[in-house]
Amino acid sequence: MGNLRAKVLAALIVLALSASTPAFNAIMPVNAATKTYDWLDIELANNSEMMVGPFRIVAHVSAGVVDLYMLEVWKDQELCGIFQASNQQEEVQGVVKAYCREGGPAVFEIHLYGTESTTAEGGKAKFDIKNSVYSPETKLRLHPVTPTQLVFNQTSTVVDLTVTVMNEGSGTPKWARLTTAYGRVEGAENATIELVATLPPVDNPTNFSIPPPKPREGSNYTFEFSASANGKAYAKLVATIGVSYPVDFKKDEQHSTSTHEVWIYDPGRVQSHTVRFYIVVGYIYRDVGVPEVRINLNHSALTVQPGDQVSFEFTLKNAGTGDAFNVSIWLSVQPPLPQILVVSPDVPGLTGKPFTGSMTTPMLVPRLPKNAVTQRIKFKVIFPEDITIMGSYFNTTILVEWQDKVGKNFQAKVSKVIIVSEPELPAISISKQASPSEVSVNGTVNVIVKVVNEGGAPATDVTVSDTFPEEYFELVQGKTSASASSLGPGKSMTLSYKLRAKKEGSATLPAAEVQYKE
């Protein structure tokens, strides 16, 4: 045959057709197809079958000296025709008519390929269906019978959700399964939804097999759910019902047109379709929402010394889904040694009046709408100068309490620890130099006294004084004392003067002295 495909038509066996005209009521009308379909690269195992519209094709493989491949075409219980090819025949083709043995318009062609079929692994018949008026698309769809949005003012309910599993394709899948998934969308965090039962009843209502409906047919299934907000609250819940089924063909978009589609045999894939039902319970509480008050806090340094103060400034923001009511703000410092002073806003009986420990009456915000922010609230924590417990920790707490619209209580709290450290002190050092160490009568000696603050705090009322043996020396330049109101950390001051020797002898210059306040 070379590269040419032989067209063997003589091997086509068609059952004899009745010569008489069928009765009118026995003939089903077939309209001219507006679109045709090619089903390509089909491999049907021995004794297996597939549907082409209302027609059932059964494959038979017989191995022998000559391998034979047979396709039987049935419509209901009527055998419409037999197509047979051997392994020596490249192609056998024929036409199937709408009314089977009674004729009618052609509804599809069968192209059976003998040389491409095989007896291996039980045998497979290779064939195409061309120019078919039936689409190979398998398409199950879910259609809700129950409305997909159900709203109840009561906070718990039981609902029946009914769906129709409809076959909108031209083929019937080998199997089909229904699955369910459900959960909370929004609202009360402890809201629940549970699948109670199905109709018809099944052992596992969340995942079960169903009889696949035939083309243009459907079946109804009902799922009973219980839904609850578990309290005086709003909740939106969802139940998703899905159908999954196998498909044997995929569309060749590249070679398809608006009037003729090409589909390739590709078994083993699974498709699905879902429908969602939304169930709202406690709708009357929807505007209540869940208020969430957050404390946004700023403060100065939290490590202080006696006599220091720490400044706090904060706002409250309602970041929740509902308004907050009766917002109460409590301030406290423990242990109750330092004082709290509210600076702003102006609260009669509270602002500007220091207290220790905890507030006895809170600051009150009657209503804080969602997304609203309060004005800035400022207060100070003041430590006494004579505090004797160094290294102590003082816990400053802001406690906020509030309610939602139906009176449910909430609270938020933030705490900061203030540490009272040991105070820094001045550390004064003094040095004295005299040169030269030997001098003749009437000679001079230069004296320099230096005072340095090597501590971490300033020294105040600093006074430096020095003396010399007046029997041997007299002051001829400068002063022997000096003072400063303050000497900061790392700073120094210098006292210098000049002496003249009056007589011979050996004299010792005494140490200089410094006096200061810490």
Q: What is the pLDDT of residues 483-510, one digit of tens each?
A: 999 998 999 999 999 999 998 888 888 9
Statement: residue 314 has pLDDT above 90: yes
> Does 492 lie in the same domain as 389?
no
Structural domain count of the chain: 4
Sequence-distant (6+) residues with CB within 8 A of 16 are 101
**pLDDT of 1:** 33
> Does 144 lie in the same domain as 238?
yes
Q: Within 10 Å of residue 484's Cβ, how many Cβ atoms?
A: 16
Sequence-distant (6+) residues with CB within 8 A of 45 are 59, 122, 123, 124
Tens of pLDDT, residue by residue over 325-358, are: 999 999 999 988 899 999 999 999 899 999 999 9
**pLDDT of 392:** 79
Q: Which residues of 240-279 are buried (b: 16+ CB within 10 A; e: fewer)?
A: ebbbbbebbbebeeeeeeeeebbbbbeeeeeeebebebeb
Residue ending a domain, among 98, 114, 132, is 132
Within-domain flag for 7 = no
Confirm if 55 and 73 have CB atoms less than 8 A apart.
yes
Q: What is the 3-state secondary structure (H, E, C) of 396-443?
A: EEEEEEEECCCCCEEEEEEEEEEEECCCCCCCEEEEEEEECCCCCCCC
Largest CA distance in the chain: 168
Tens of pLDDT, residue by residue over 131-150, are: 999 999 999 999 999 999 99
Q: Distance (Å, rounded) from C-alpha 292 to C-alpha 404?
A: 9
> Does 271 lie in the same domain as 150?
yes
Within-domain flag for 4 = no
Mapped onto helix, strand or coil, the DSSP state of residue 172 is: coil
Within-domain flag for 185 = yes
> Does 311 lie in the same domain as 393?
yes
> Does 71 lie in the same domain as 50?
yes
Whether residue 426 is preceded by a cis peptide bond, meaning omega within 30 degrees of 0, is no
Average pLDDT over the chain, rounded to an integer? 89
Amino acid of residue 84: Q
H helix intervals, 195-279: none
Mean pLDDT to the nearest integer, 156-176: 94
Q: Phi then psi for 386, rounded to 5 degrees? A: -95, 25
CATH at residue 485: 2.60.40.10
Within-domain flag for 492 = yes
Q: How sure is the predictor about 286, in pLDDT bands with cuts at 50, 70 and 90?
A: confident
Strands 68-75 and 124-132 turn out to be unpaired
> Does 310 lie in the same domain as 401?
yes
Alpha-carbon separation of residue 475 from 239, 451, 465, 514 (angstroms): 106, 21, 14, 20
> Does 332 lie in the same domain as 229?
no
Question: For the whole prediction, is pTM greater than 0.95?
Answer: no
Within-domain flag for 186 = yes
Residue ending a domain, among 132, 166, 200, is 132
Alpha-carbon separation of residue 185 from 158, 239, 276 (angstroms): 18, 10, 12
The range of the structural domain enclosing residue 400 comes to 293-420
Tens of pLDDT, residue by residue over 351-401, are: 999 999 999 999 999 999 999 999 999 999 998 887 665 557 899 999 999
Mean pLDDT to the nearest integer, 97-119: 94
Alpha-carbon separation of residue 33 from 8, 28, 260, 286, 339 (angstroms): 28, 15, 10, 54, 93
Confirm if 96 and 29 have CB atoms less than 8 A apart.
no
Within-domain flag for 261 = no
Amino acid of residue 431: S
> Does 370 lie in the same domain as 479?
no
